[in-house]
Amino acid sequence: MDSSERLYSRTALAIYACGFFTLGFSVLVGLAVPLWTVELQAPPATTGLVLGAQAILPLLFSIHVGVLMDRTDARRVMLILAVVSAILPLVYPLMPWIPALFALQLVTGFVYQLSWVGAQTLIGRAYPGDPRFYGRFSSAANLGMFLGPLLDGFAWSGLGKWGGFGVMALWGAGFTVAVLAVPKLSADAAEPFDWRMLVPDPRSYVTTLRMIAIPAITLVVLATFLRISASYIRGSFYTVYLSRDAHLSGSLIGSLVAFGSFTGTFGSLFAQSAVRLCGSQRRALLWSEALALFSICITPMLPNVWTLAIGIAGYGIGMGVNQPILLAILSSAVGVDYQGAAAGLRSTANLIAGLGIPICMGLAIEASGMREGFYLTGIVLLATTAMIALFTRRTEPVGAPASQPS
């Protein structure tokens, strides 16, 4: 099989499909749940707490599940998550109370976040460090983030909460089919599954956290925090602002979110060009994340739908460019037997941002107002980006070759 055929083999297409569905979950939750909190008339601080709740359990268990996927068949773990993801959304409309919503968010965050860890484990195990596969995998994931909110927004406008959460359930069913289509990989661990594996081993946490001492992993962890901060702003108060303050319909909000993901699909394909333009992976990574943060945090300045579309496009391009760069650096920095652990470590950085950003932003909005909350959050995160740029300036030589993975 030649190189081009491998890019579109059954294995590659099935793993791309897993990426399509798993990352799409994040935008579906980021659209449907904020709209649900508006319908339940939750105040900003409570909304932030509810939206941040989805990060709590994955924060504790992402590394453990990543290690579990390395030790046993990742597909088996993912299949369990996929089946649950198809059932869980239908529970939301049945329990229209804030405490119940908080509890559901705990479980939903665990299932959806660890599904994405599993998809990263599969691509890392099948094609470690190959930038071509990561570019296509990231494009498939961004395509899922495009179609998901588009369908969900129109379903919410037409059918209300049952339509919105129903699309999420169908999405989970599609993910289940994708996992079943993944064949056995030659790099799959041979260790048989044992129920005792479900108990977290503190030694695996220590071993995984030691990876942070690797300079490339340090860069990935810090950059991941910034990336997911932008994502959680989009998946929380961006939707609340457009619904409550800008008075846009669910279908229009879904279209804007989808447009951002659509531009991200193309951003992922041009990640290697961004590396050449910026002179190094590190610069391309941090500049693209600064673009995403700036574009999403100026949302209250944008006076109409057309300028909102330009803003979300800037966010999407920035996020699209930096995702395959992050994944390729991470995969190249560790061996094939540690892809799950590395993905779990990156997910932990995701979830620190996922827990902190909605809660802190909700408190800032409650104290100072919606617009000021966006601006204050943007200033803090862009200043953090500048500090990370200084802290990691020796991680990669300036003017790194353009042929490096992107």
For the chain, domain boundaries: 8-184+208-391
Could you say which DSSP state residue 190 is in? -
DSSP-derived 3-state class of residue 97: coil
Between 31 and 191, the higher pLDDT residue: 31
State the pLDDT at residue 395.
56
State the pLDDT at residue 149.
80
Q: How far apart are CA 199 and CA 195, in angstroms?
A: 8
Q: How far apart are CA 53 and CA 356, in angstroms?
A: 10
- Considering the chain, what is the average pLDDT of its residues? 77
| H-assigned helices in 1-130 | 3-7, 10-39, 44-53, 56-71, 74-87, 98-126
Q: How far apart are CA 391 and CA 240, in angstroms?
A: 34
State the pLDDT at residue 398.
35
Q: How far apart are CA 328 and CA 134, in angstroms?
A: 7
State the pLDDT at residue 169.
92
Q: How far apart are CA 260 and CA 175, in angstroms?
A: 22
Q: How far apart are CA 84 and CA 124, in angstroms?
A: 24
Could you say which DSSP state residue 214 is in? S
| Average pLDDT rounded to a whole number, residues 63-91 | 79
Q: How far apart are CA 104 and CA 53, in angstroms?
A: 9
Q: What is the dihedral of CA 111, 358, 386, 328, to 10 degrees?
A: 10
Q: How far apart are CA 141 and CA 139, in angstroms?
A: 5
State the pLDDT at residue 291.
92
| Average pLDDT rounded to a whole number, residues 152-156 | 85
| Interior/surface letters 123-139, b for 16+ CB within 10 angstroms, e for the rest | bbbbbbbbbbbbbbbbb
Q: How far apart are CA 53 and CA 113, in angstroms?
A: 12
| Average pLDDT rounded to a whole number, residues 163-184 | 89
Q: How far apart are CA 97 and CA 268, in angstroms?
A: 39
Between 167 and 189, the higher pLDDT residue: 167
Nearest alpha carbon to residue 258 among 324, 177, 315, 173: 315
Q: What is the pTM of this model?
A: 0.65
State the pLDDT at residue 238.
87
- pLDDT band at 401, cuts 50/70/90? very low
State the pLDDT at residue 205.
59
Find all residues with CB under 8 Å of 223, minimum gap 6, and list them: 285, 286, 289, 322, 326, 388
State the pLDDT at residue 293.
92
What backbone phi and psi angles, to 5 degrees, belong to 401? Answer: -60, 145
Q: Which CATH superfamily is domain 8-184+208-391 in?
A: MFS general substrate transporter like domains (1.20.1250.20)
State the pLDDT at residue 197.
52
Asked if 245 and 60 count as a contact pair (C-beta separation under 8 A), the reply is no
Q: How far apart are CA 326 and CA 216, in angstroms?
A: 10
pLDDT in tens, 84-123: 999 999 999 888 888 888 888 888 888 887 788 788 778 7
Q: How many CA atoms lie within 13 A of 405 on its CB side?
A: 22
State the pLDDT at residue 200.
55
Burial of 56 (0-12, 13-18, 19+ CB in 10 A): middle
State the pLDDT at residue 2.
45
Q: How far apart are CA 101 and CA 39, in angstroms?
A: 12
Which tokens go with 66?
A: 């990543």
Residue 21's alpha-carbon distances to 2, 52, 109, 147, 378, in angstroms, are 28, 21, 15, 10, 29
| Average pLDDT rounded to a whole number, residues 164-189 | 83
pLDDT tops 60 at residue 246: yes
Between 5 and 46, the higher pLDDT residue: 46
| Interior/surface letters 332-364, b for 16+ CB within 10 angstroms, e for the rest | bbbebebbbbbbbbbbbbbbbbbbbbbbbbbeb
| Interior/surface letters 72-103, b for 16+ CB within 10 angstroms, e for the rest | bbbbebbbebbbbbbebbeebeeeeebeebbe
pLDDT tops 70 at residue 26: yes
State the pLDDT at residue 307.
92
- pLDDT band at 354, cuts 50/70/90? low
- Among 52-56, 144-148, 301-305, 375-379, where is mean pLDDT lowest? 52-56
Q: How far apart are CA 228 and CA 205, in angstroms?
A: 22
